Structures are given as structure tokens and as C-alpha cells.
Amino acid sequence: MAESKIVLPDLPGAEYAPEPPPQGPVVWMKENLFSTPFSVILTIIGGLIAVVSLRGIFGFVANPERIWQAVTTNLRLLMVQAYPDQHMWRVWVSIGVVVVLTALSLAAWRVGGRTSGRKLTGNVMALGGLLAIIGLVADFPFEMNVTWAGIGLALAGLGYMIRRMMGERAKAENIPVLAVAGGLLIGLVASLWVLQVPVPDPDSGIRAATTELLANTTRIPWLLLLITGFVAYGIGIAIRDWKPSRPLLVAGWALSYPVIFLHILRGTRMNNLSEYLLIGLAFLVAGAAIIYALVNLDIGESGRLISGILLIAALVTWATPVLIIIRLLLLILAVFALAAPTFGGSGGSKYRYMGIYAGTVVVMVYLMLLATGTSAVQTQSAVPFGGFMITWLLAIGAVALSFPIGVVLALARTSSLPLFRVMATVYIELVRGVPLITWLLMSVVVFPFLFPEGVEFEDVVKVLLFFTFFSAAYLAENVRGGLQAVSKGQAEASNALGMSTMQRTAFITLPQALRAVIPALVGQVIATFKDTSLVAIVGLFDILLIAKNVVPNQSQPFNFLGSIKENLVVVALVYWIFTFIFSRVSQRIERNLGVGER
């Protein structure tokens, strides 16, 4: 949007404008904290609670009894579990893919406004103030109190000095936010070459035998990633006026998940490549021919007969030991055949419909090829994933996959076609009516019996599928709430304009519905993210299980027995950081879409 500024004409008498209201911290406090006797009491009680909890929390952290080395030494275990050394490049290549995509997207969508020096220095002063308060109240050893308070006051003073030096210029909104963020990132990466960390010595069992630069202990080339990010941002700026850049990036994000999960991190070996390709090709040709015949309206009753036979054949194969890929493709073909008269039509839409069928077959063959392939990465656990990596992969995968399924379910449930409505309702009620833990156990224990012909999915794939199905049911209900919130007049107006059902849903009702339920959707994302800790129940080692069971049981060589509190605090912090980022991003989206303003 172009910046617009209302220019007021220099009216005579402007000097009689009302005086600006009094400002300053004292006035602010008077208005917000001590306005009535009741709020005075609330302020005092709230302040006391804040001081006591700050003192407690930071006292806990600084207590010399705490074995924080248990966490720092085991960071790798917590993040990626026993991911082998020689495959560690896969982890940082994955991070690199995300960094590149993020940088390109930031450029392409022109993210980031400008901020003023006043706001920035305000943030620095607030951070300094917080550090100083912690330094004053926390239950630290005395020298630490002094250090923290000193650093805090110095920081606050620095912020104030810069603001004074900038003078009037501080009010101008001319500092790009992204430049500030980039500077902070550079500072963080630079700190790797400044900060010294204690390094344990496994031979002697001494937890802090020597110290080493942080940069030498980390296994991820952060500097390389940082430079890659900056370069990608530059490329993004260069190509952002090129029209297909945004659609390409969206496709890139959609592809990044299967590529990272299946190709990079798991290094899947496609064992059935030729066989599956042949089957896929056969279905492409035969299916296209059948659909081509069926979309022809002259075929009449015999068309329904053919698709009915196909459907029954597809269902019957599920009780026979034919390859799973054949069963799935047959089912897809049957569904497409049944719907052919409805969506096929004539001319262009016929070929578009066949194109969609072909695309579905290709995607299905690709996914099954990968899902049934074996992993090139062998680890201690049943799957090559563990630690925070599994938390992250499951959360992102379940959210991304369940979103389209959930939207389709919501549309089906509000559809006027009884078959769709009943199927969606049964699905949603069935899935929501059973606890997630039960579904997870079923995914590992019962799921294999559904595929008796020897197709073995890894546990992590099964768990991901069930997370997706579970999350989709809840998401569908959220979206349905949004659909109901869209006033009927909108649908009627689009009907009056002669829009088709598809057009009305895609351009009128669904966008408004999704916009209305962003808070509920983000709530669902956060819930799914945290629910991933339940995978411990089926023997996958996520970050919480490692922190709770594995690290506190290490007796040799470093003796981290009883370090459960430290681990849990760090895990809680990790979870909090990510959920907080989610909620901030969602607030930003809401603000950009103007939710809550009308």
C-alpha cells in the first residue's frame, strides 16, 4: 500500500490548538497504576507477586546446586537424539533450506516496516530496566546481583544517551526493522566467536575440564547459514518484481516439508522404484481412458455401472493382499470415476479434470514410494528422528497436512449434499470422540494389521498420519465455526452475481471464514505442537522424554543423575519460545488482515 499522509493546511489560529496533555512516567503511573484506592492495592499485590516470583525463578537458575552442564553437554541429544555424526550435514542442510526460503519470502512479500529511533532506544531501555530489576531482587550470590544490576543500568543509560543524542531525529520512522533484525543476527553469530563454554572431558569425567569457543563446539555452520540467508535475501530483492516469484515460493514452502523430512533428514532409499513407477504409469493411462469415457454424458447409465464396479473392486482389494499402492490408486480412480459426470463437463474442464486425476496419482505414487522406502540414516531409536527434531517435524507436518483436510471436512460438513455431510460428520465425531493417546497407540499397534501384505511404515510416519487426522477433525470444526459466522447475505450476493458454488466458496465465504477464526486456528497449531510430546507413549524419543528419562540417568562419566529439574526448565523454555513466536506471528497476520477492526 502506498503511504498516504494528510497534509493539514496552515490555518490561521493554529497557535490556539489545545495544549498537549501532560506526559511522562509519573503521569503514566498515576493514570494506570494508582488511579483509585483499589488499583493502588492491586498494584502493590501484583508487584509483590512479580518480585517474589522473579526472585524465586532467577534464584533457582543461579543456585550453585543446579547442574546446568547436564543440559549443555546433552544439547545434541535433546535436539536430534542419536542422529549419527556422519549424517549431521543433513540437519544443517535442512536448516539451510528453511533459512533460504525464509529470506526469499521476506524479500518477496516486502515484509518489515520501519521503526523509529525512539522505539528502538525505548526497547533497549526496557531491557536494561528488566535486567536491573532482576539484578536487584533475584536470589543471587551478591556479586551476581551487582553485575546484573550494573549491566542493566548501563544498558538503560546507553539507550537514554543515544536517544538524547538523536534528539528530534529519534521520532522519525526511518530505521528498517529487518536491518535491526539482521544486525541482531550478526551479533548473535559473532558472539559464537567471543563466548567461551566449558567443555567436558569424557575420559576423566570432569564436567568442565577446559573451556572452548562456542564456535568450535557447535556442529552447525552458523556463519555459513547467516551468509546464505543474506545472499538469499539479496536474490529475493532482485527477483521480487518477477511475477511468478511468489507462487514459486509458495510451492517451494509446500515442497520443503517432504523434501526435508523424507529426502534430506531420512535419506529415504526408494526400494520399489521401478515397480511403483510401472503401476503408476498403468493407472495413469488406464484411469485417464476410463475417465475420458465417463465424462462423456452420452454414456448414461452404463457409466454409473462402471464406476460402481470400480468402487466395489477398490473396496474388495482392501481385504486382499495386493500391493497397498494398487489399493490406494484403485480407490482414487473409483472416486474420480464416480464424480466424473459432476465435474467433468465438456471441453476444457474435461481435460482439467483428467489433469487433476493425473496429479493425484503422481503425488500418491511419490508419497507411497517414500513412505515405504527405508531410511539411509540408522540411529539407536526405531526411527532416525528424535529429540526436538521429531517434535518439530511432527508439529509442522501435522499442521500443514491437516489444514487442507480440515478445510475440506468443514466444507463437506456444511455441504447440502447428504453423503458428504454424513461422511464428514461421522469422521469428525469419531476422531474427536477418542483421546489422542488412544489414536497414537492404535497407530502403532493396530495400524499394521490394516496392511497385512508387508508394507511397513516407520512409526514416525504412522504417528504423523494419525496426528494429521486428529488435528484435521478439530480444525474442521474451527473452520465450520468461521463458515457459520459469514453472513448469509454474502452467499446470496455471490449467487446473485452468478457465481458457481466453487467460486462462491473459494472467493467469498472461505476467505472470510478463515479470517474470522485465526485465533482458534493458532490455538490449534499451538495445541498440536505441544501434543507432540505424547509420542513418548509409543516409544519415540522426543525432547521431553529425553529430558525426563535419559539425561537424568547418565551416571558415567559425568554423573548427571538428578538433573531432571534443569532439563525440564530448559524444555519448558524451548516450548515457550516457539509457542510465543507462533502467537506473535498470528497477531501480526491478524493486524495485517484487519481482524477485529470491523
Partner 1 sequence: MEAKSKMIKRLSFLLVVLALVAAACGGTEETTETTAPDDTSVTTAAPDPGTDPGTDPGQDTGKSTLDVVKERGKLICGVSGSAVAFSETQPDGSATGFDADYCKAVAAAVLGDATAVEFRSTTAAERFDVLKSGEIDVLFRNTTWTQSRDSDVGLDFGPTTYFDGQQLMGPGNRFTVDSSAADVDGAVLCTNTGTTTEKNIVEWARLGGAEIVVEGVETFPEAMERFKEGTCDLVTTDGSGLVGNKATETAAGTAGAAEWVIFPSAPISKEPLGPAYRQNDSAWADVVNWTIHATVIADEKGVTSANIDDNREIDPEAGRLFGLEGEVQSAMNLPADAFYQVIKQVGNYDEIYSRNLNPVGLTREGSLNASFVDGGMIYAPPAR
538 binds partner 1 (CB under 8 A): yes
Tell the smallest beta-carbon distance from residue 488 to partner 1 (Å): 25
Binders of partner 1 in range 391-420 (CB under 8 A): 419
Nearer to partner 1, 183 or 202 (CB): 202
Residue 471 CA to its chain's centroid (Å): 14
Tell the smallest beta-carbon distance from residue 303 to partner 1 (Å): 16
Interface with partner 1 (CB under 8 A), residue from 562, 572, 580, 584: 562
Binders of partner 1 in range 64-123 (CB under 8 A): 73-74, 76-77, 81-85
CA distance 177 to 215: 27
What is the DSSP code (8-state) at residue 265?
A: I
Which range of residues in 34-42, 142-150, 297-305, 535-543 is near partner 1 by CB under 8 A?
535-543
452 binds partner 1 (CB under 8 A): yes
316 binds partner 1 (CB under 8 A): yes
Structural contact between residues 192 and 185, judged by C-beta atoms closer than 8 angstroms? no
Structural contact between residues 135 and 151, judged by C-beta atoms closer than 8 angstroms? yes
Nearer to partner 1, 53 or 549 (CB): 549
Structural contact between residues 102 and 112, judged by C-beta atoms closer than 8 angstroms? no
Interface with partner 1 (CB under 8 A), residue from 186, 277, 549, 576: 549
Which range of residues in 13-21, 141-149, 315-323, 426-434 is near partner 1 by CB under 8 A?
315-323
Pairing of strands 196-201, 206-213: antiparallel
Tell the smallest beta-carbon distance from residue 452 to partner 1 (Å): 5
Residues 198-237 as x/- pattern, contact with partner 1 by CB under 8 A: --x-x-----------------------------------
Concatenate the DSSP letters of all residues of 100-134 into one string. HHHHHHHHHTT---EEEHHHHHHHHHHHHHHHHHH
Q: Tell me the number of residues near partner 1 by CB under 8 A.
A: 53
Interface with partner 1 (CB under 8 A), residue from 172, 312, 356, 506: 312
DSSP H or E segment with residue 310? helix 301-317
Binders of partner 1 in range 487-526 (CB under 8 A): none
CA distance 580 to 560: 30
449 binds partner 1 (CB under 8 A): yes
* Phi, psi of 387, rounded to the nearest 5 degrees: 65, -150
Residue type, 4: S
Tell the smallest beta-carbon distance from residue 382 to partner 1 (Å): 6
Structural contact between residues 166 and 117, judged by C-beta atoms closer than 8 angstroms? yes
Structural contact between residues 337 and 291, judged by C-beta atoms closer than 8 angstroms? yes
Which range of residues in 91-99, 191-199, 292-300, 448-456 is near partner 1 by CB under 8 A?
448-456
Tell the smallest beta-carbon distance from residue 137 to partner 1 (Å): 25
CA distance 336 to 222: 48
Interface with partner 1 (CB under 8 A), residue from 39, 217, 379, 583: 379
Structural contact between residues 505 and 411, judged by C-beta atoms closer than 8 angstroms? yes
Nearer to partner 1, 315 or 581 (CB): 315
31 binds partner 1 (CB under 8 A): no
Nearer to partner 1, 61 or 382 (CB): 382
Nearer to partner 1, 190 or 322 (CB): 322
What is the DSSP code (8-state) at residue 36?
A: S
DSSP H or E segment with residue 287? helix 273-294
Q: 379: left (phi > 0), else alpha (psi -120 to 50), else beta?
A: beta
Concatenate the DSSP letters of all residues of 168-223 into one string. GGGGSEEEEHHHHHHHHHHHHHHHTTT-EEEEEETTTTEEEEEEEEHHHH-SS-HH
CA distance 64 to 566: 12
Interface with partner 1 (CB under 8 A), residue from 68, 257, 292, 318: 318
Cell triple for 163: 536517544
What is the number of H-type helices and E-type strands within the chain? 26, 4
Which range of residues in 158-166, 474-482, 552-560, 580-588 is near partner 1 by CB under 8 A?
552-560
Which range of residues in 115-123, 175-183, 402-410, 561-569 is near partner 1 by CB under 8 A?
561-569
Residue 341 CA to its chain's centroid (Å): 39
Tell the smallest beta-carbon distance from residue 407 to partner 1 (Å): 26
* Phi, psi of 573, rounded to the nearest 5 degrees: -65, -40
314 binds partner 1 (CB under 8 A): no
Nearer to partner 1, 180 or 564 (CB): 564
What is the contact surface with partner 1 in residues (CB under 8 A)?
Answer: 73-74, 76-77, 81-85, 200, 202, 308, 312, 315-316, 318-322, 378-382, 419, 445, 448-449, 452-454, 456, 536-539, 541, 546, 548-550, 552-556, 558-559, 561-562, 564-565
